[in-house]
């Protein structure tokens, strides 16, 4: 009961408090006198540029200094110099890895992928492939004589092909062969290998994909160099890596036949095939030799013609939409002339 | 057998068309009365390039090799819109002297394909040696094979196809005539004349009359 009374009292008192309106502002005597005298205009403070005294003055901000043209030029062009600290890793000694990237231009994952392919190539081929990765615009220092360096570093050990690959600019790539290969593989063949690899890589847009395509194609070309060393001829253009892989992987027809056909079937099969071949040849020969003759019947001349009066069909081919049967001419010529 | 001018049927050995009176003299009046020298492939209308002409020539040579008695000739020309292809074919096979043909192949054994470049029409004519073996329907079949090519302006291809079709038809006829030559001979030889039949019948009766008295003498 008490609680209900308490709630009712609180509700009524809060309603009474809400009904109380705030008091209106009242004029000071001094303000009223100033307005009447015209000294003070209500709202005049809003129409002036003067900052009210109670607000802090806004500090004028100075423009931030932009990059200078020199700075911009430096940022747009990538550095052409290989930092000195990496030169030793590149050129001092024969690398232990097939992929040389001391500048970490590739991510570790990309590096592992490319390296695994080069290692796979090394297991499959007698010519190792070493790929030195440089930046797109980097230049090999002038004091580095790449040919001499290759000769010195790769004179011993397995034959090797050394490629200086510029990431993002595969067309700048250079190839050098170890001394054991330079005598047997011509410069033209080296150039063809490099060109075909560059063409393959330029088919890709991404720089890492370009490196992948380049190394795959170069691996194929090295395979053909290897074949050439063993006496085979090198094709002018290895068009596709897939085709080359197929050519390497798929054995010849005769080899497959040898595997699939037991030796006891060889004689009957060859007899059947030989018979078919002979029959086909005989048929072709007989058809070529065939002559068709007609008996000579006595035909009396007609219409005064001593040689011919056999009148065949006449057909018009002026209209493509009408079949030949409807374009067969059966109208007498003298009617057409009229 | 039809008349080249009125396309009506005419009988064997007709000296002139019984319907319109057409003879070779009428064709001579149109095209000339003298013999003309030309090659078996004459592209007077200039419808074919040299390479295309070679293809047509090789098709013609194949035909001539398969049929040692026959030959095929092709003539293209512009006849100024006057469709005289039947008469022209008839006239040309009778008046032409083909320079590149061996002398043993006479015009009787020729098949002529004539193309009118102006009227866009083609016709086929043949000599007496083929009277028994070629029908008008056969020649229409050959021209139909070429029709699609000629519509596209591929005249050489059309000619090759027409010659190939002619080869197929004549091979078939050659095999048929080997089996049954009389069937084909009947088409071109004259039917026995009525007078001869009557004489034969009467002659038969005379024999019977002559033999009859002998029987009487024998009989008692």
* pLDDT, tens digit (0-9, with 9 covering 90-100), for B126-143: 999 999 999 999 999 999
CATH number of residue A103's parent domain: 3.10.310.50
The pLDDT of residue A252? 63
Q: Do B139 and A313 lie within an 8 Å CB cutoff?
A: yes
Find all residues with CB under 8 Å of B183, minimum gap 6, and list them. Answer: B176, B177
In-domain check, residue B20: no
User: Are residues B109 and B47 part of one domain?
Assistant: yes
The pLDDT of residue A109? 87
In-domain check, residue A273: no
In-domain check, residue A46: no
In-domain check, residue B22: no
User: Are residues B142 and B174 part of one domain?
Assistant: yes
User: Are residues B176 and B137 part of one domain?
Assistant: yes
Which of A32-36, A41-45, A218-222 is predicted with the least confidence, judged by mean pLDDT? A41-45
Residue in this structure with the two tokens 């190539």, named with its chain if needed: A121
DSSP for A224-239? HHHHHHTTPPPPS---
The pLDDT of residue A261? 75
A5 near B CB under 8 A: no
User: Are residues B204 and B169 part of one domain?
Assistant: no
Asked if the model's pLDDT at residue A74 lies above 60, the reply is: no
The pLDDT of residue A251? 55
d(CA A284, nearest CA chain B) in Å: 14
The pLDDT of residue B194? 63
In-domain check, residue B15: no
Could you give the ipTM of this predicted complex? 0.82
Top-confidence residue, A59 or A265: A265
Say what percent of chain A tops pLDDT 90. 16
Across all residues in chain A, what is the average pLDDT? 79
Asked if the model's pLDDT at residue B177 lies above 60, the reply is: yes
A208-235: average pLDDT = 81
Chain B residues whose beta carbon lies within 8 Å of the beta carbon of residue A294: 67, 69-70, 129-130, 132-133, 173-174, 177
pLDDT band at A85 (very low <50, low <70, confident <90, very high): confident
pLDDT band at A284 (very low <50, low <70, confident <90, very high): very high
pLDDT band at A338 (very low <50, low <70, confident <90, very high): very low
Alpha-carbon distance A199 to A142, whole Å?
27
A284-312: average pLDDT = 88
The pLDDT of residue A280? 95
In-domain check, residue B54: yes
Query: How do residues A3-30 score in pLDDT, each as one tens digit?
Result: 666 566 766 665 565 555 667 877 788 8
Structural domain that includes position A156 = 84-249
Residues β-bridged to residue B17: none
Number of domains in chain B: 2
Size of chain A, expressed as the number of residues it contains = 338
Q: Do B106 and A318 lie within an 8 Å CB cutoff?
A: no
In-domain check, residue B116: yes
Structure tokens at A169: 């600019």
In-domain check, residue B14: no
Asked if the model's pLDDT at residue A96 lies above 70, the reply is: yes
Chain B residues whose beta carbon lies within 8 Å of the beta carbon of residue A300: 12-13, 190
Please give the angle made by the CA atoms of A251, A255 and A257, to the nearest 5 degrees.
Answer: 120
B81 near A CB under 8 A: no
Q: Do B6 and A334 lie within an 8 Å CB cutoff?
A: yes
Query: How do residues B11-58 score in pLDDT, each as one tens digit?
Result: 887 888 998 899 999 989 888 888 899 999 999 999 999 999 999 999
A285-313: average pLDDT = 88
User: Are residues B151 and B210 part of one domain?
Assistant: no
Q: Do B6 and A332 lie within an 8 Å CB cutoff?
A: yes
Rounded to 5 degrees, what are φ and ψ at A230? -90, 5
In-domain check, residue B25: no
Alpha-carbon distance A312 to B144, whole Å?
12
The pLDDT of residue A28? 82
Structural domain that includes position B207 = 193-218
User: Are residues B201 and B176 part of one domain?
Assistant: no
Nearest to A293 among B126, B137, B174 (CB): B174
pLDDT band at A93 (very low <50, low <70, confident <90, very high): confident
SS3 A255: helix
Chain B residues whose beta carbon lies within 8 Å of the beta carbon of residue A304: 15-16, 23-25
Asked if the model's pLDDT at residue B178 lies above 50, the reply is: yes
The pLDDT of residue B210? 52
Query: How do residues B71-121 score in pLDDT, each as one tens digit?
Result: 999 999 987 755 578 889 999 999 999 999 988 888 999 999 999 988 889
Find all residues with CB under 8 Å of A203, minimum gap 6, and list them. Answer: A213
In-domain check, residue A5: no
The pLDDT of residue A18? 54
User: Are residues B164 and B57 part of one domain?
Assistant: yes
In-domain check, residue A166: yes
User: Are residues B156 and B202 part of one domain?
Assistant: no
Top-confidence residue, A330 or A221: A221
The pLDDT of residue A71? 66
In-domain check, residue A150: yes
Alpha-carbon distance B127 to B110, whole Å?
5
User: Are residues B52 and B96 part of one domain?
Assistant: yes
Q: State whether the Cα torsion A235-A239-A245-A249 is positive or negative.
A: negative
Alpha-carbon distance B7 to A334, whole Å?
10
User: Are residues B201 and B129 part of one domain?
Assistant: no
In-domain check, residue A333: no
pLDDT band at B217 (very low <50, low <70, confident <90, very high): very low
Asked if the model's pLDDT at residue A57 lies above 90, the reply is: no
In-domain check, residue A256: no
CATH number of residue B176's parent domain: 3.10.310.50
Number of domains in chain A: 1
Do B92 and B36 meet the contact criterion of CB atoms below 8 Å apart?
yes
Report the run of H or E that residue A181 belongs to, with start and end.
helix A179-182
The pLDDT of residue A246? 47
d(CA B201, nearest CA chain A) in Å: 26
The Cα-based distances of A289 to A255, B68, B158 in angstroms read 39, 12, 26
Nearest to A324 among B1, B94, B144 (CB): B144
Q: Do A294 and B4 lie within an 8 Å CB cutoff?
A: no
A301 near B CB under 8 A: yes
Find all residues with CB under 8 Å of A141, minimum gap 6, and list them. Answer: A81, A82, A87
């Amino acid at each position: 009961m008490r609680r209900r009374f308490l709630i009712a009292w609180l509700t009524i008192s809060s309603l009474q408090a809400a009904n109380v309106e705030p008091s209106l502002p009242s004029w000071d005597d001094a303000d009223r006198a100033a307005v009447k005298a015209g000294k003070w205009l209500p709202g005049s403070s809003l129409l002036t540029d003067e900052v009210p005294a109670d607000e802090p003055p806004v500090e004028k901000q100075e423009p931030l200094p932009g990059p200078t043209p020199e700075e911009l030029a430096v940022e747009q062009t990538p550095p052409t110099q290989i930092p000195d600290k990496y030169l030793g890793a590149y050129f001092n000694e024969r690398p232990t890895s097939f992929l040389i990237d001391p500048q970490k231009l590739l991510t570790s994952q990309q590096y592992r992928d490319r390296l695994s392919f080069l290692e796979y190539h090394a297991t499959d081929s007698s010519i190792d492939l070493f790929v030195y990765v440089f930046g797109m615009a980097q230049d090999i220092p002038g004091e580095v004589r790449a040919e001499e360096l290759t000769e010195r570093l790769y004179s011993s050990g397995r034959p090797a092909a050394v490629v200086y690959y510029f990431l993002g600019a595969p067309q700048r790539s250079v190839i050098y062969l170890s001394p054991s290969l330079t005598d047997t593989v011509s410069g033209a063949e080296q150039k063809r290998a490099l060109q075909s690899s560059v063409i393959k890589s330029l088919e890709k847009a991404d720089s890492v994909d370009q490196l992948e395509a380049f190394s795959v194609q170069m691996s194929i070309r090295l395979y053909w160099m290897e074949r050439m060393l063993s006496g085979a001829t090198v094709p002018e253009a290895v068009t596709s890596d897939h085709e080359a892989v197929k050519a390497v992987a798929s054995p010849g027809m005769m080899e497959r036949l040898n595997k699939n056909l037991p030796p006891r079937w060889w004689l009957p099969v060859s007899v059947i095939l030989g018979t078919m071949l002979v029959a086909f040849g005989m048929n072709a020969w007989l058809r070529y030799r065939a002559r068709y003759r007609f008996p000579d019947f006595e035909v009396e001349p007609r219409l005064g013609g001593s040689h011919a009066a056999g009148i065949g069909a006449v057909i018009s081919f002026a209209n493509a939409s009408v079949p030949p049967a409807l374009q067969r001419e059966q109208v007498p010529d003298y009617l057409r002339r009229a | 057998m039809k008349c080249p001018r009125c396309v009506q049927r005419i009988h064997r050995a007709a000296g002139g068309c019984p319907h319109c009176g057409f003879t070779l003299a009428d064709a001579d009046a149109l095209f000339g009365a003298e013999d003309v020298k030309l090659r078996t492939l004459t592209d007077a209308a200039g419808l074919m390039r040299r390479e295309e002409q070679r293809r047509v020539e090789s098709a013609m040579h194949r035909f001539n090799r398969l049929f040692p008695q026959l030959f095929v000739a092709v003539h293209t020309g512009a006849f100024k819109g006057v469709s005289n292809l039947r008469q022209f074919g008839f006239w040309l096979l009778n008046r032409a002297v083909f320079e590149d043909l061996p002398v043993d192949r006479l015009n009787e054994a020729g098949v002529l394909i004539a193309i009118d470049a102006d009227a866009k029409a083609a016709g086929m004519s043949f000599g007496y040696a083929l009277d028994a073996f070629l029908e008008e329907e056969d020649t229409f079949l050959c021209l139909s094979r070429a029709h699609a090519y000629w519509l596209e302006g591929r005249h050489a291809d059309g000619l090759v196809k027409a010659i190939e079709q002619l080869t197929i038809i004549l091979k078939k006829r050659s095999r048929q005539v080997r089996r049954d030559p009389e069937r084909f001979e009947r088409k071109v030889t004259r039917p026995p004349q009525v007078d001869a039949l009557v004489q034969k019948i009467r002659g038969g009766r005379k024999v019977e009359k002559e033999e009859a008295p002998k029987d009487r003498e024998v009989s008692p």
